[in-house]
Amino acid sequence: MFTTKQYPKITPAAARVNAGLNQDEASKQIGISKASLQHYENGKTMPPWDVVQRMEKVYDFPAAFIVFKSSTL
């Protein structure tokens, strides 16, 4: 799937934009609501692992390099 190439650490919003998707398109492809995606991107909530795995596939970017920040910390 991914090579040994070194990837930069980026936000979920940056991964989405790099994939050429807007929030409507990304949320549909990931299988979540647009509001949920906005909450994940804004750090209001942390996505469950299955959602992160779907983001990885949709964005074609390794999940290990997508940095999720929580505004509740």
Per-residue pLDDT tens, the chain, 73 aa: give them: 555 567 889 999 999 999 999 999 999 999 999 999 999 999 999 999 999 999 999 999 999 999 998 765 5
Query: How many domains does the chain contain in total?
Result: 1
Q: Judge whether 5 lies within some domain.
A: no
73, part of any domain? no
Domain presence at residue 30: yes
Three-state SS for 72? Answer: coil
Tokens 């997508």 correspond to 66
> What pTM did the predictor assign?
0.85
Task: Establish if 19 belongs to a structural domain.
Answer: yes
Question: What pLDDT score does 3 carry?
Answer: 56
| Owner of token pair 């492809």 | 29
For residue 44, is it within any domain?
Answer: yes
Q: Could you list the residue range(s) of the whole structural domain that residue 23 is in? A: 12-64
List of residues 6+ apart from 68 with CB closer than 8 A: 12, 40, 43, 46, 47, 52
